[in-house]
């Protein structure tokens, strides 16, 4: 008889969480698309020079807020 001990239940829980998250995201393609776009926008803003009189930093802050809201919206719909 094989002895898996504590590792097998933990692996099953983690696999279930990943599958559950994937299903939740798959059910909301527009929110996931928006999240991806926001992540790309944030990367572009971070790559831009910081000589924008504080506007770049404010834009990054707003994008971070939007990312949080989209993630919370996805979580709320599940």
pLDDT at position 20, please? 52
Give the residue from 37, 35, 20, 23 showing the smallest Cα distance to 73: 35
3-state secondary structure of 6: coil
Q: How confident is the model at residue 5 (pLDDT cuts 50, 70, 90)?
A: low
3-state secondary structure 20-36: HHHHHHHCCHHHHHHHH
Q: Model pTM?
A: 0.68
Length of the chain: 78
pLDDT tens digits, one per residue of 14-73: 565 555 555 556 689 999 999 999 999 999 999 999 999 999 999 999 999 999 999 999
Domain ranges of the chain: 7-76
């Amino acid at each position: 008889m094989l002895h898996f001990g504590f590792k097998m239940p933990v692996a099953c829980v983690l696999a279930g969480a990943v599958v559950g998250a994937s299903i939740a995201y798959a059910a909301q393609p527009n929110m996931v698309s928006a999240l991806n776009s926001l992540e790309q926008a944030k990367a572009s803003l971070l790559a831009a020079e910081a000589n924008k009189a504080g506007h770049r930093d404010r834009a990054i802050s707003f994008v971070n807020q939007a990312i949080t809201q989209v993630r919370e919206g996805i979580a709320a719909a599940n």
